[in-house]
């Protein structure tokens, strides 16, 4: 395990102490490790969300040249959306509402 030293402003340190009490953390190290883990999880979730948007936009790009009317384009978008939702469900267990 590596050792990391950080400096905190007095006000931030007071807030850490207050949160530690509220959330039943016994040490600053335990609290900070947990906060770092939470931040990493949030960053990974955001990365996955952005990757899914990129896929959706790429799918949209493939549809633009195939439709001649707005109705054809709407139908292609709908079909692509359904296909995409099936892929999400298979990959992540995300069901359509």
Listed by start position, the domains of the chain span: 27-92
Task: Look over the chain and give the mean of its residue pLDDT values, rounded to a whole number.
Answer: 85
Query: Cα 19 to chain center, whole Å?
Result: 24
CB within 8 Å of 72: residues ≥ 6 apart: 66
Q: Which of 96, 93, 88, 79 is nearest to 55 (CA)?
A: 88
Q: Is the pTM of this model over 0.85?
A: no
Q: What is the pLDDT of residues 41-64, one digit of tens each?
A: 999 999 988 888 777 777 666 656
Q: Which residues of the chain have pLDDT under 70?
A: 59-68, 94-97
């Amino acid at each position: 395990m590596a050792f990391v030293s950080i400096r905190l402003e007095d006000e931030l340190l007071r807030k850490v102490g207050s949160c530690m009490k509220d959330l039943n953390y016994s040490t600053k190290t335990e609290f900070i490790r947990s906060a770092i883990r939470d931040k990493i999880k949030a960053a990974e979730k955001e990365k996955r969300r952005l990757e899914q948007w990129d896929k959706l936009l790429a799918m949209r790009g493939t549809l633009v040249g195939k439709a001649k009317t707005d109705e054809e384009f709407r139908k292609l978008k709908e079909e692509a959306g359904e296909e995409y939702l099936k892929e999400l469900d298979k990959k992540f267990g995300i069901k359509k509402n």
